[in-house]
């Protein structure tokens, strides 16, 4: 039987999670509260003083960039009209997917 893992979560005065410690590993969160959506967004995750994950936002999350085996690996999000995530590109070659989306968009322009 595995012993239970303890977690300590710290929030700032506005109720935003700013750090979390699970199993002895502390993660700090850089939170942006001044953005066009008026909803707090995590911009960076920091472990042992180093940034391990970053996020980019427009009105919704656009991408995240995380270290996997010491290499920064980007991934991208796509949403439907209701704001639900419909696709998430995690690894190259996402350029093929972007090219496909461009062809589809061009087709819609011609059909109008």
Q: Over the stretch 34-52, which tens digit does the pLDDT of each residue have?
A: 988 889 999 999 999 999 9
Write down the pLDDT at residue 2: 81
Write down the pLDDT at residue 93: 53
Using one digit for the tens of pLDDT, what is the confidence trace for 53-98?
999 998 888 899 998 888 898 888 888 888 888 887 776 555 555 5
Which percentage of the chain shows pLDDT scores above 70?
80
Residues 6+ apart with CB under 8 A from 40: 14, 16, 31, 32, 33
C-alpha to C-alpha distance for 28 and 20, rounded to whole angstroms: 6
Q: What is the DSSP letter of 53?
A: E
Tokens linked to 100: 């496909």
C-alpha to C-alpha distance for 100 and 54, rounded to whole angstroms: 26
Predicted TM-score (pTM) of this structure = 0.72
Query: Is the distance from CB of 19 to CB of 26 less than 8 angstroms?
Result: yes
Mean pLDDT of 94-110: 49
């Amino acid at each position: 039987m595995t012993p239970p893992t303890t977690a300590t979560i710290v929030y700032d005065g506005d109720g935003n999670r700013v750090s979390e410690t699970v199993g002895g590993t502390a993660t700090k969160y850089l939170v942006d509260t001044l953005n066009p959506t008026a909803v707090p967004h995590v911009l960076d995750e920091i472990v042992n003083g180093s940034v391990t994950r970053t996020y980019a936002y427009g009105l919704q999350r656009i991408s995240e960039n995380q270290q996997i085996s010491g290499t920064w690996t980007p991934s991208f999000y796509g949403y439907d009209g209701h704001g639900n995530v419909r696709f998430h590109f995690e690894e190259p070659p996402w350029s093929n997917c972007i090219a496909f989306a461009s062809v589809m968009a061009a087709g819609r322009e011609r059909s109008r």
